[in-house]
Amino acid sequence: MSESTQSTTAVTGESEVADLCRDLIRIDTSNYGNNEGPGERAAAEYVAEKLAEVGVEAKIIESAKGRASAVARIEGEDRSRPGLLIHGHTDVVPANAEDWTHHPFSGEVADGCVWGRGAVDMKDMDAMTLAVIRERLRTGRKPPRDIVLAFLADEEAGGTYGARYLVDRHPDLFEGVTEAIGEVGGFSFTVNDDLRLYLIETAEKGMHWMRLTVEGTAGHGSMTNDDNAITELCEAVARLGRHKFPVRVTKTVRAFLDELSDALGVELDPEDMDATLAKLGGIAKLIGATLRNTAQPTMLGSGYKVNVIPGEATAHVDGRFLPGLEDEFLAELDSVLGPRVRREDVHADKAYETSFDGALVDAMQSALRAEDPIARAVPYCLSGGTDAKSFSDLGIRCFGFAPLRLPPELDFAGMFHGVDERVPVDGLQFGVRVLDRFLDGC
């Protein structure tokens, strides 16, 4: 394409979404969970600049040095209607460049995909949101109702410096908002040539990130010691790591399995995990953990010298519980760990669940079908957590809806916090079209 042709070609949401995604990926916003990373200030300023270009003023709010979120409100045609929140986080988990095919902060386009940390979690949705809003405002198309945009810090470490801070300190920013869409929903799962399911998140597990501590008797490493804290802790951690919590089918999981059974034409038995998950292909990683509570050991620490038996040993565990099952989860956890282990929360948050109905869900389904005639939207429960937990405290009904049509062979679930994270360019463009239709119908 010549320069003269490029200069006269109109910029659209579809034409710029990949570049917006690449720009965001190139801004390193790695969140190490200890407030020592680069922060999200540069990403917040980028978002504010892109919104300012189409006449929208975003507020940049810092909760701590460099920990910044950007929030903006776009007036709708009917301001008497409740508002809609579209939220996304700009922080990402760290990445080791040596493990990647393409540098994780290069935003390189290869094999039809934008590669980089955040490509699916979740700078893709941030880019799609910016692309849609910028095109609508360039062409003078107001949304039917007020839209609040929130590009948030710190989601990857629980949202303390992002969504939680804004909900606690600046709830006025979300005045009049009753519904929200955010990450980890709206992506496709191809059943066959005649059916693609799009998973809409209506529930997510609660969390207990916890520290386990065992105290023992310190001593010389050459001596016998029947009260070794490391031994006691490791035995408890091993029991927990091997423990299978019982299957518990929640309302959302039952609805998903019913929808999937109908789509596949076979009965899915949640009590037979192996047979059920074998039918789910690439989404088994996302769905499998929603059939039971989970507690995964993730870190161990103790001692300071090889010939010294320490008096204390610690471990960290990522615990997740299904909606309505927190008390059961904690009681079973303590039973497995035993009386010698002291546990304390590092970060805890509630589970969340809403129903799969209403005008907003209808708008999602209609927008998906308009762009993909074989689309069928189904509810599902997320095994992890999102900023929806914080916004639900304001009475906002939250859904995961970041629409992407994906090739069947792409291991989408495996790329969350994984190596070689990438998103198809045509998937981003599909998402722009769907979100635009969704805003018209919501």
- The CATH number of whichever domain residue 356 belongs to comes to 3.40.630.10
For residues 397 and 424, state if they share a domain.
Answer: yes
Residue 196: inside a domain: no
- When pLDDT is cut at 50, 70 and 90, the band that residue 5 belongs to is very low
d(CA 136, CA 161): 30
Q: What is the residue range of 66's domain?
A: 3-188+352-372+380-441
Residues linked to residue 206 through DSSP beta bridges, in sequence order: 321
For residues 254 and 325, state if they share a domain.
Answer: yes
Residue 84: inside a domain: yes
pLDDT in tens, 252-288: 999 988 888 888 787 777 777 677 777 776 667 767 7
Residue 101: inside a domain: yes
For residues 267 and 209, state if they share a domain.
Answer: yes
Residue 158: inside a domain: yes
Domain harbouring 249, CATH code: 3.30.70.360
- The values of phi and psi at residue 224, to 5°, are -75, 150
For residues 281 and 321, state if they share a domain.
Answer: yes
pLDDT value, residue 414 = 81
Report the percent of the chain where pLDDT is more than 70. Answer: 97
For residues 217 and 333, state if they share a domain.
Answer: yes
Residue 195: inside a domain: no
DSSP 347-408: EEE--EE--S-SHHHHHHHHHHHHH-TTEEEEEEEESS--THHHHHTTT-EEEE---B---T
For residues 253 and 130, state if they share a domain.
Answer: no
For residues 31 and 138, state if they share a domain.
Answer: yes
Average pLDDT over residues 237-244: 97
For residues 357 and 323, state if they share a domain.
Answer: no
* Geometric angle at alpha carbon 197, from 191 and 202, rounded to 5°: 140
**pTM, two decimal places:** 0.92
For residues 390 and 331, state if they share a domain.
Answer: no
For residues 162 and 234, state if they share a domain.
Answer: no
pLDDT value, residue 260 = 83
Residue 127: inside a domain: yes
pLDDT of residue 97 exceeding 70, the answer is: yes
Number of domains observed in the structure of the chain: 2
For residues 101 and 149, state if they share a domain.
Answer: yes
Q: Are 261 and 390 in contact (CB under 8 A)?
A: no
Q: Are 239 and 392 in contact (CB under 8 A)?
A: no
Residue 193: inside a domain: no
Average pLDDT over residues 8-16: 87
For residues 171 and 220, state if they share a domain.
Answer: no
Residue 194: inside a domain: no
Comparing 80-84, 193-197, 310-314, 391-395, which segment has the lowest mean pLDDT?
Answer: 193-197
pLDDT value, residue 281 = 67
